[in-house]
């Protein structure tokens, strides 16, 4: 065996390990999300009531996975069979492909440290809407088609604020490589540009399509949206892909704004990086889970208005503020890392305050306008 083939084999083994990582993590996260949501809704969640499924029913998800493998794969009449089967494959493949550049630790714990890593993440995840369009179109089901349209207009639109706020860590660190972005975060960027972190978080929450942005699969309106017609493991693939996307969004947020794998003792024990990164990602993921359990579903007009009238302008304003304030400070001679971070934090807080003021003003005037329209009370 030559060295080249041994290298290919090494890469393939690493790639397999890295691709299995999100799958394994998701098996646990599904259980965790179900437990947390159950507690929020005053239920117990998965328990050992029927048969034993491990302590706290930890292995419930394994049981579900094995069960779903034995279910029939039904393709409805009239469906476009090829496209119908390709859609779930694409969903899972795209969800996993993003993990090529995610750094789990300082060295070695990454498949490849691409010099355009952040852009790779954005570019690959822009393929995701296609699996939804393909699923919605090929099912030949009216619910599925409505779901596909909702998914596309939402996911595509929220890419804009996501990219705009992703540019801020890139600007501050001067690199697109996720590893370099982490290494540049002596102060986590959530403390330098909290508004950008907020915009990125909200946009990611909309991209992964869970409540309150869940209207693409709104189960009380359009059954299951674009994957209404899917059964068995094909349904499972969509479910899995969605959970991987949630985990990926949490991990990317942790990498860009929470310092990624950085934490105490990482220099001595690089493997600790995984622990720190996953703890941070778990924190973000649980905020998403709390959203699912606590939020009502938005309508399509509200989703679009929230994007075009709030997140996009805020993203543009934040980008302008950070770029101009930071450059003005450097030009004025403030070059220390801490001083720059403090100045940017102050600018961000001012921007946040201004936005909060404008929001409360608008909502007050809207309320007043609506109270004028209220029909007069008729006394009997």
**Hey, which residues between 258 and 297 contact other proteins (CB under 8 A)?**
none
Interface positions, 22-51, toward other proteins (CB under 8 A): 23
Selected binder of other proteins within 26, 96, 181, 205 (CB under 8 A): 96
Contact yes or no for 79/138 (Cβ under 8 A): yes
Selected binder of other proteins within 43, 81, 309, 364 (CB under 8 A): 309
From 252, 250, 225, 253, select the one nearest 239 (Cα to Cα).
225
Residue 140 backbone zone (phi > 0: left; psi -120 to 50: alpha; other: beta):
left
Q: Is 340 helix (H, G, I), strand (E, B) or coil?
A: helix
327 binds other proteins (CB under 8 A): yes
Q: Candidates 45-53, 252-260, 282-290, 326-334 — which segment interacts with other proteins by CB under 8 A?
A: 326-334
97 binds other proteins (CB under 8 A): yes
Selected binder of other proteins within 21, 35, 60, 141 (CB under 8 A): 141
Instruction: Tell me whether residue 16 or residue 56 sits nearer to other proteins (CB atom).
Output: 16
> Minimum Å distance from CB 109 to other proteins?
14
Selected binder of other proteins within 109, 206, 216, 237 (CB under 8 A): 237
Binding mask 239-258 for other proteins (x = CB under 8 A): -x------------------
358 binds other proteins (CB under 8 A): no
Binding mask 148-177 for other proteins (x = CB under 8 A): xx--xx--xx-xx--xx--x--xx--xxx-
187 binds other proteins (CB under 8 A): no
> Minimum Å distance from CB 123 to other proteins?
4
Selected binder of other proteins within 44, 56, 81, 123 (CB under 8 A): 123
Q: What is the DSSP letter of 43?
A: -
Cβ neighbour number for residue 283 with a 10 Å cutoff: 13
Contact yes or no for 339/185 (Cβ under 8 A): no
Q: How many residues bind other proteins (CB under 8 A)?
A: 100
221 binds other proteins (CB under 8 A): no
> Minimum Å distance from CB 186 to other proteins?
15
Q: Is 338 helix (H, G, I), strand (E, B) or coil?
A: helix
Contact yes or no for 36/290 (Cβ under 8 A): yes
Q: What interhelical angle do 128-138 and 81-97 show, nearest 10?
A: 160
| Whole-Å CA distances, 317 to 53, 195, 199, 309, 345 | 51, 10, 11, 12, 15
Contact yes or no for 215/157 (Cβ under 8 A): no
114 binds other proteins (CB under 8 A): yes
Q: What is the 3-state secondary structure (H, E, C) of 265-309?
A: CCCCCCCHHHHHHHHHHHHHHHHHHHHHHHCCCCCHHHHHHHHHH
Instruction: Tell me whether residue 206 or residue 289 sits nearer to other proteins (CB atom).
Output: 206
Instruction: Tell me whether residue 157 or residue 259 sits nearer to other proteins (CB atom).
Output: 157
> Minimum Å distance from CB 292 to other proteins?
24
CA angle at residue 313 from 307 to 314, to 5 degrees?
Answer: 95
Dmax (CA) for the chain in angstroms is: 96
100 binds other proteins (CB under 8 A): yes
Interface positions, 62-81, toward other proteins (CB under 8 A): 68-78, 80
């Amino acid at each position: 065996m030559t060295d080249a083939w041994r290298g290919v084999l090494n890469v393939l083994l690493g790639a397999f390990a890295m691709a299995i990582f999100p799958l394994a993590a998701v098996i646990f996260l599904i259980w965790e999300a179900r437990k947390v949501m159950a507690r929020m809704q005053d239920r117990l969640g998965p328990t050992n009531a029927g048969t034993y499924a491990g302590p706290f029913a930890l292995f419930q998800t394994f049981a579900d996975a094995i069960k779903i493998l034995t279910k029939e794969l039904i393709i409805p009449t009239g469906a476009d069979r090829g496209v119908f089967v390709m859609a779930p494959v694409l969903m899972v493949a795209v969800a996993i492909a993003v993990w090529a550049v995610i750094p789990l630790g300082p060295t070695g714990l990454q498949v490849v440290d691409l010099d355009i890593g952040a852009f790779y993440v954005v570019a690959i995840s822009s393929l995701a809407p296609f699996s939804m369009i393909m699923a919605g179109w090929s099912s030949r089901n009216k619910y599925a088609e409505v779901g596909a349209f909702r998914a596309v207009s939402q996911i595509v639109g929220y890419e804009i604020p996501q990219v705009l706020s992703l540019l801020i860590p890139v600007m501050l660190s001067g690199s697109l490589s996720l590893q370099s972005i982490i290494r540049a975060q002596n102060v986590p960027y959530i403390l330098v540009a909290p508004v950008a972190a907020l915009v990125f978080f909200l946009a990611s929450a909309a991209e992964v399509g869970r409540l309150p942005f869940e209207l693409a699969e709104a189960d009380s309106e359009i059954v299951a949206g674009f994957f209404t017609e899917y059964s068995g493991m094909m349904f499972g693939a969509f479910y899995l892909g969605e959970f991987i996307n949630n985990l990926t969004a949490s991990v990317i947020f942790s990498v860009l704004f929470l310092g990624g794998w950085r934490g105490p003792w990482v220099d001595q024990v690089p493997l600790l990086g995984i622990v720190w990164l996953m703890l941070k990602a778990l924190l973000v993921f649980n905020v998403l889970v709390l959203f699912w359990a606590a939020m009502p579903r938005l309508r399509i007009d509200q989703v679009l208005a929230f994007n075009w009238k709030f997140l996009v302008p805020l993203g543009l304003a934040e980008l302008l503020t950070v770029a101009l304030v930071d450059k003005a400070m450097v030009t004025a001679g403030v070059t220390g890392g801490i001083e720059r971070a403090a100045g940017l934090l102050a600018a961000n807080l001012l921007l946040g305050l201004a936005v909060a003021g404008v929001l409360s003003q608008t909502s007050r005037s809207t309320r007043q306008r609506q109270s004028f329209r209220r029909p007069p009370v008729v006394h009997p």
